[in-house]
């Protein structure tokens, strides 16, 4: 199963960006989203930002992922 995870763009330089996902920061390729800017929320899959999404959608998705992870632990 493939899963794209939402993250907030913190910085972009050349075709790479730093994305915040929950409390983690990851460097991802931004070449598929040339119009993305700092502050945008993007879906990240396999190290690439693939689509911009709105902040509310990102927060809902992150909360669902968190709940799934907690259920897996118990």
For 48, the enclosing helix (H) or strand (E) is: strand 48-53
pTM of the model: 0.87
* Tens of pLDDT, residue by residue, the chain (74 residues): 678 999 999 999 999 999 999 889 999 999 999 999 999 999 999 999 999 999 999 999 989 888 887 776 66
DSSP state of 34: T
Within 13 Å, how many C-alpha atoms sit on residue 41's CB side?
A: 16
Go through the domains of the chain in sequence order and give each one's CATH number. Answer: 5-73 (2.30.30.140)
Angle subtended at Cα 69 by Cα 38 and Cα 5, rounded to the nearest 5 degrees: 25
């Amino acid at each position: 199963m493939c899963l794209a995870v939402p993250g907030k763009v913190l910085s972009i330089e050349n075709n790479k960006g730093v994305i915040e996902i929950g409390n983690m920061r990851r460097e991802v390729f931004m070449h598929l989203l040339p119009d993305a800017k700092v502050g945008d929320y993007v879906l990240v899959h396999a190290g690439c930002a693939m689509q911009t999404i709105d902040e509310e959608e990102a927060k809902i998705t992150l909360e669902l992922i968190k709940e799934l992870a907690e259920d897996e632990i118990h």
